Amino acid sequence: MRIARFNEDRIGIVRDNRVLDVTDQLTERLSPAPYSLARRLITEFAAVRPLLEQTASVAGPGDGLPLGQARLLAPVPDPAKIVAAPVNYRDHQSEMNEAYHISSLGFFLKSPSSILDPEGTVRLPYTDRRFDHEAEFALVVGRRASHVTPEQALDHVFGYTGLMDITMRGGEDRSTRKSFDTFTPLGPWLVTPDELGSPEDVGLELTVNGEPRQKANTSELIWSAARFLSYASTVTVLEPGDVVTTGTPAGVAPVEDGDVVELTVARIGRLRVAVSAEGAVPCPTSGASRGPVPPPAPSHK
């Protein structure tokens, strides 16, 4: 099942290039809670899944809204946390000249307010700093996970999605450089595990203005999605709606004002975001003691 959030915070099932709106049915059946309808759906999915499956099964060819007429929103607008993997592809470790990878670095957190819709605009805040794209395969937690084993981990996954980890280069803490508003494009929707199949064989491709930049497969991860989720659950309890993202491969390079960045995730879909530097100002921090920086990409202007 593909579950999207669209238009004015509507929830829909994506089927045959159409979106079947199930918002009213969910609102009637889900418990009231002080967070989004999407998170409520994730938390109580087992109770409403039969309804959603029935809705999809009886829908006719013309039912629902054509996908091209829907304005897609981030499938989870308000996760309690975003848990991210640093240096989890060996080719990225090499291009960054990193001495360590995930086995030594653990994870870092991104601000939930950095989430951006899959057709949104990344806002570069500073005129004098470098900003890079990072293509990632992400999962959304569906069941509370604490100290789960790698063998148990995927049983706690609600669905999978694509994610861009936009990053400012410099000496500031990782979480600072990656948590600006709009720096986590997410989507285009959530794909449930039964529809995706194995998360250990998912292709990723990222382009900037049509130019190929990143291409990889999750089979190349140092720590698989299951192992990373398991590890994260030994540090902090993972709650329904939390986003766990598995790291970026080689090909990281700058994005600039006017760029269009597209991430395609096999068996999931595509995000397409614009980049704008409108309103950017000089950075108030120096960025001194800079960490490893990937080599510059050829000019794409």
Task: Give the pLDDT of residue 94.
Answer: 78
Per-residue pLDDT 10s for the chain (301 aa) are 999 999 999 999 999 999 999 999 999 999 999 999 999 999 999 999 999 999 999 998 889 999 999 999 999 999 999 999 998 998 877 776 677 788 889 999 999 999 999 999 999 999 999 999 999 999 999 999 999 999 999 999 999 999 999 999 999 999 999 999 999 999 999 999 999 999 999 999 999 999 999 999 999 999 999 999 999 999 999 999 999 999 999 999 999 999 999 999 999 999 999 999 999 999 998 877 555 566 666 544 4
- Mean pLDDT over the full length of the chain: 94
Task: Give the pLDDT of residue 180.
Answer: 99
pLDDT in tens, 173-215: 999 999 999 999 999 999 999 999 999 999 999 999 999 999 9
Phi (first) and psi of residue 206, to 5 degrees? -125, 135
Amino acid at 171: G
Q: Return the SS3 of 69.
A: helix
CA distances from 61 to 12, 69, 221 (A): 15, 16, 39
Q: Which residues contact 137 (CB under 8 A, 6 or more apart)?
A: 160, 162, 163, 199, 202, 204, 218, 225, 245, 246, 265
Task: Give the pLDDT of residue 256.
Answer: 98
Task: Give the pLDDT of residue 92.
Answer: 78
CB of 66 closer than 8 Å to CB of 18: yes
pTM for this predicted structure: 0.93
Q: Return the SS3 of 113.
A: helix
Phi (first) and psi of residue 198, to 5 degrees? -65, 130
Task: Give the pLDDT of residue 300.
Answer: 45
Alpha helices in the chain (DSSP H): 23-29, 37-43, 45-58, 90-96, 102-105, 150-153, 174-178, 193-196, 225-235
Task: Give the pLDDT of residue 245.
Answer: 99
Alpha helices in 59-137 (DSSP H): 90-96, 102-105
Provide the token pair at 55.
């809705």
Identify the sign of the CA torsion 176, 178, 183, 189.
negative
Whole-number Å distance between alpha carbons of 107 and 84 = 6
The structure tokens 């299951």 sit at 226
Quote the Cα angle for 123-129-130, to 5°.
Answer: 80
Nearest to 132 by CA among 183, 94, 173: 183
Which residue ranges form the domains of the chain, and what is each CATH number?
Answer: 2-73 (no CATH), 82-276 (3.90.850.10)
